[in-house]
Amino acid sequence: MTDAPPTVPPGRHEQARPVPAGGEAGLVPAPTVTTYPMTFTGQAGEYFRIWIVNSALTIVTLGLYLPWARVRQRQYFYGHTWVDGHNFEYTANPLALLRGYLVVGALFLAYSLALNVQFRGWEYVAGVIGLAYVVLYPWLVMKSLRFLAVSTTHRGLRFRHYGKAGGAYAAYGLANLASGLTAGLALPWAWFMQRRYQVENAAYGDARATFRGDVGHFYVIGLTGLAVAIGGGVLLGVGGFLLVALLTGVLDSLGGDVLNGPISTATLVMIGALYLAFLALYAVAWQYVRAATMRSVLNGVEIGGVVRTGATFSPWRLVWIGVSNTAAQVLTLGLATPWAAVRRARYVVSGVQVRAITPLDDFAASQAPPENALGEAATELLDINLGF
């Protein structure tokens, strides 16, 4: 599946500008910067076969196959993502994931039964599980990041995540609380804190990563998304009002009944369509925020002081891909899902580069103890978004 690297050009070498060595010592030799473009070699038809088998086995086994399906999916996408002639690898053990899935799934089932069946004492069951989720949320995020990192390798070296619980509770607990208390004004700051926690605790081999991002970029992203939502909402509202007025005028001219006539049904349909349009507008704004945040973070990652990542993909193009992918998936009743996933991955990966002033072979391995998969299972089953 990933036997041969893609036929991509080797890294492009550039001479960096010389820098003063301080005082009167003159200039030190400038390092050579090599740019390694990332490539994605996955094919929609190839992934469709994996996806359809995963879906069928997950249904037949009542969800027990889900960990194996998740591992196979990630192995495919990681295995077809290349840098400097080497692909990434996902090495998670499905059995470890299954244990986490069973624990989280049992708790989620008990919570759902308590809310829907309302057996005796259901308030206590739902309350305890709900409170536990809120309290443990930052810890689950930390465990998930650790498991995801230690399950990822490149050139035989594992990634690591050294995040501690204190940092997780600050980034995902206090920051989210501050966002809520300020009616969303602190939300971009919370995004910044969370991405900084993700990046600055990450490591490739024994090289720690640092985050060079600025909180101001997150406010620009948030304000742009808000402007899209408000501006689009105003346009939709004005357009909807004019259409309703037009239909009402037509009905009046025909002597019909606004509430019971045939045009009233059309009016209701139009109101429903406007409601869906508002939801789509919100989705577009949110997709822009996610895409722009991912690009901003990738442009701010530095590893070991010698490697930086860069992203040049367009957030708006990514929004368009997301919208058209969703339309294709709806029209094909989900059968276009593999094509949509491959299409998005190909575009994102093609817009990412790695710039290094030392050969990537120079990185050394570090000891990587095994990580519990409970956090990973929780983020998957409870749809906790950890992506950039």
pLDDT in tens, 218-243: 999 999 999 999 998 888 888 877 87
Segment 155-213, tens digit of pLDDT: 889 999 999 999 999 999 999 999 999 999 999 999 999 999 999 999 998 899 999 99
Contact present, 311 and 294 (Cβ < 8 Å): yes
Residue 152: closest CA among 213, 74, 69: 74
Determine the angle formed by the axes of helices 94-117 and 66-79, rounding to 10 degrees.
130
Any idea of the CA torsion for 123, 126, 130, 136, to the nearest 10 degrees?
A: 120
Whether 316 is in a domain gets the answer no
Whether 115 is in a domain gets the answer no
Whether 260 is in a domain gets the answer yes
Whether 91 is in a domain gets the answer no
What's the token pair of residue 164? Answer: 């501690």
Q: What is the pTM of this model?
A: 0.82
Whether 237 is in a domain gets the answer yes
Range of the domain at 260: 214-291
Whether 109 is in a domain gets the answer no
Whether 69 is in a domain gets the answer no
Low-confidence stretches of the chain (pLDDT < 50) are: 1, 388
Query: 251: which residues sit within 8 A by CB, 6+ positions away?
Result: 257, 258, 261, 263, 264
Q: What is the Cα–Cα distance from 62 to 42, expressed in whole angstroms?
A: 28
Whether 222 is in a domain gets the answer yes
Which pLDDT value is given to residue 388? 47
Residue 98: closest CA among 58, 129, 47, 60: 58
**What residue ranges in 41-163 does DSSP mark as E strands?**
81-83, 86-90, 152-154, 157-161
Looking at the structure of the chain, the number of domains it has is: 1
CA–CA distances in Å: residue 161 to residues 82, 141, 234, 282: 21, 11, 44, 33
Q: Where does residue 201 rank: exposed (0-12), middle (13-18), buried (19+ CB within 10 A)?
A: buried
CA–CA distances in Å: residue 22 to residues 15, 32, 56, 209: 20, 20, 65, 27
